[in-house]
Structures are given as structure tokens and as C-alpha cells.
Amino acid sequence: MILPMSVLSKSELIQLYRRVSFSQKLHAIIRINRFPFAQIDSLVPKSGKILDLGCGHGFLAVYLGASSFRRSVVGTDISKSKIDIAKKIQSPKNIEFLHDFTNSAIKKKDYYDCVLAISVLYLMSEGMQKEILKKIAVSLKKGGRLILVEPNAEHAIGIMGEKIREFIMVNILRATKGESIVYHKESWWRKELGRSFSRIETSNFRESNLHLVYMCVK
Ligand SMILES: C[S@@+](CC[C@H](N)C(=O)[O-])C[C@H]1O[C@@H](n2cnc3c(N)ncnc32)[C@H](O)[C@@H]1O
């Protein structure tokens, strides 16, 4: 069992996935090695209820929960197989994983201190993206934060490569669940986020220069 309040190193996080299949372990190694944990962690409140929506195999939820015992972290995903893997790894007691195919976690009102959606919303139709943003805003407490990471459609050539890669992941390899692949420019996100959030700050995502991080305060 990991002791809470300890910042996990990348190799300690990778170790947690030692019992999963070879392909899943490979995916975890690649993603964990590139992921800017400290950047995202610095945007998340040190205490309170945290939701990692579309948490995949759960490594960010584990990192956030292990780095502050005062956080109560829930990781949800539409993919049952990913949640089954997340549940297999040994995580601190303040972290929970739920298979949530109807996004019921964001039906709660004024409940979360922070919701993260890291590289998730582009896998939805434009209508669903707008609906989910509204629901996330309702589910947050006043002053609560949404941390969103999305590809920035302003990088036309890079985005074309990203779209091909994601098409293969979603439709051919079926390694990622998604109903569509819809990218937007920063201006689109700012307009939609501006309907529900009073402050929006953008920064470069340290994993990839094609993505932006939106830190939104309700
Ligand atoms: C590219 S992965 C990112 C996973 C994780 N957030 C990360 O940064 O490693 C996208 C994830 O979103 C999940 N997903 C897709 N549509 C979803 C939805 N409607 N609700 C919840 N999760 C969804 C997929 O199953 C997948 O695990």
C-alpha cells in the first residue's frame, strides 16, 4: 500500500502497473513518462473532492491522491476495461475508480472542488461537449475549478496527424472509446467555457505543443 502524502516518482507509478498485460504496461510506460504530473498537480486544490473524468488507466488520479491525503479523488471512465485495470493497481484509500458510461458523476450539484478532463472531450460530438461543459459547471462548487486539456485546432498540420492517430486508436485498434473526434480552436473553447466560468487561464501543455491546458474557475 502506498502511503498518502508522498509525491510518486514516474518509476513508482509505472511499478503500480506491473501486474497488467504487456500492451497495457507499454501504454502506461509511454504515457506516464511523457505526462507533466507536476504541471497539472499545481493547478488542483490540495484538498477537497476531485473528479478525474475520463481517467483512463487511472495514473493521474493515483498521483493526485498520493500527493495530498486531503484530496478525495474519484476517477471515472466510459471504458470498463480501463477502469478494471485502474481498480487492479494498489492505490491509497482516498482514491476510488468507477465505471461510468452515463457520466452520472457530474449529475451531482455544487459537489466537486475540481474536475479534470484531460484529453477526453475531443472524443465527443460538439453537442455533447457543450452539454458536458454545462454539467461539469453545475457539479462544481462556487470557486471550484475545471482543468481541461484539449488539442488546439489552430495547429492545422499537427492536428491532421493527431486526427489520423486518434482515428486509428478509436476505430481500428479500438484502444480508446469515443463517439467522434472533434477538435476546436482556443477561441471556441474560450467562448463555450465563458458561458459557465468566471475566469479562464490558458497555458501550454508540457506533454505536447499541440495541446492547451484551460484552468477555469466557476
Ligand atoms: C486519450 S484517453 C485520456 C485518458 C486520461 N485522461 C489520460 O490523460 O491519460 C481518453 C479517455 O476518455 C475516455 N472517454 C471517452 N468518452 C468518454 C465519455 N463520454 N465519458 C467518460 N470517458 C470517456 C476514454 O475511454 C479514454 O479512457
Ligand 1, atom 11, residue with closest C-alpha:
54
Q: Give the model's pLDDT for residue 5.
A: 53
Q: Of 218, 135, 150, 140, whose CA–CA distance to 186 is shortest?
A: 150
58 lines ligand 1 (CB under 6 A): no
Q: How far apart are CA 129 and CA 193, in angstroms?
A: 11
57 lines ligand 1 (CB under 6 A): no
Ligand 1, atom 1, residue with closest C-alpha:
119
Q: How far is the CA of 55 from the centre of ligand 1 (A)?
A: 6
Ligand 1, atom 9, residue with closest C-alpha:
56
Q: Which CATH superfamily is domain 10-217 in?
A: Vaccinia Virus protein VP39 (3.40.50.150)
The mean pLDDT of 88-109, rounded to a whole number, is 92
Condensed to tens digits (0 to 9), the pLDDT of residues 143-184 reads: 999 999 999 999 888 888 888 988 898 888 888 888 889 999
Any idea how long the chain is? 218
Q: Give the model's pLDDT for residue 208.
A: 87
Share of the chain above pLDDT 70, in %: 97
Q: Of 86, 106, 125, 128, whose CA–CA distance to 218 is shortest?
A: 106
pTM: 0.94
Condensed to tens digits (0 to 9), the pLDDT of residues 1-22 reads: 454 456 889 999 999 998 888 8
50 lines ligand 1 (CB under 6 A): no
149 lines ligand 1 (CB under 6 A): no
Condensed to tens digits (0 to 9), the pLDDT of residues 62-81 reads: 999 999 999 999 999 999 99
Q: Give the model's pLDDT for residue 131.
A: 97
All structural domains of the chain with their residue ranges: 10-217
Q: How far is the CA of 69 from the centre of ligand 1 (A)?
A: 25
